[in-house]
Amino acid sequence: MTALFESDDAADTAVAHLRDADAGLAALIERVGPFRMRLKATASLFGALAEAIVYQQLSGKAAATIHGRVCALFPRSRPTPELLLRAPDATLRGAGLSRNKLLSLRDLAARTEAGELPTLPQARRLPDAELIERLTEVRGIGRWTVEMLLMFRLGRPDVLPVDDYGIRKGFAVAFRKRALPDRAQLDKRGARWRPYRTVASWYLWRATEL
């Protein structure tokens, strides 16, 4: 599947398309400036999803601390599905994991070991909708989590997380709406931004910072 940063001019092409497609978004782009989203290095799909589970519902600093403690329990600070399944509950809980997150990590590890989930190379070739369907079968992995993986790990160019509060707030700021938009409103306006809704989403997040 196409990634957002496969060529040097891909981002410029996306921004030019958005400017032409939506005057309101063009005004936001003018205020924010160049598109500067960067992908996060990813060694494995298991590692990316495990990190996402740890980070859920925590501040960045607290999540990073717990994630670091969990990783430090394993050789070279790299938990694998096999090693995580063998680690005692008490050891993992001692690193700061809640019971629910521990259960989610074990489900992720078990499904990965069983071959139920795609590898990272396989995930790169799967369509967005199929990857969302397969990964949300894991306990604790919802649509939003997979959308973030699609955007920031796999560089998919056409993702619009309509349930994300920052996206909804940014939309209200950018288009001067008194109320936050619902899913239908975002979907309708977002149709103008295809096939570069990831880039539009990045600009909407930036709108909350203006």
Q: What is the CATH number of the domain that holds 125?
A: 1.10.340.30
pLDDT per position as a tens digit, 24-51: 999 999 999 999 999 999 999 999 999 9
Catalytic entry in 9, 12, 22, 164 = 164
Q: How many C-alpha atoms does 189 have within 13 Å on its Cβ side? A: 21
Domains held by the chain: number: 2
| 124 & 183 share domain | no
Q: How far apart are CA 122 and CA 3, in angstroms?
A: 14
| 22 & 61 share domain | no
pLDDT category, 59, cuts 50, 70, 90?
A: confident
Within a domain: 2:
no
| 100 & 189 share domain | no
What pLDDT does 4 receive?
67
What pLDDT does 58 receive?
86
The three-point CA angle 189-192-194 to 5° equals: 115
pLDDT category, 5, cuts 50, 70, 90?
A: low
Find tokens 């259960």 and name the residue: 103
| 142 & 76 share domain | yes
| 129 & 196 share domain | no
| 105 & 170 share domain | no
The residue type of 170 is G
107 is catalytic: no
| 164 & 138 share domain | no
Contact partners, residue 202, CB within 8 Å, separation at least 6: 35, 37
- CB distance 126 to 2 below 8 Å: no
Residue 14 structural domain: 10-39+158-207
φ/ψ of 157, rounded to 5, equals -85, -15
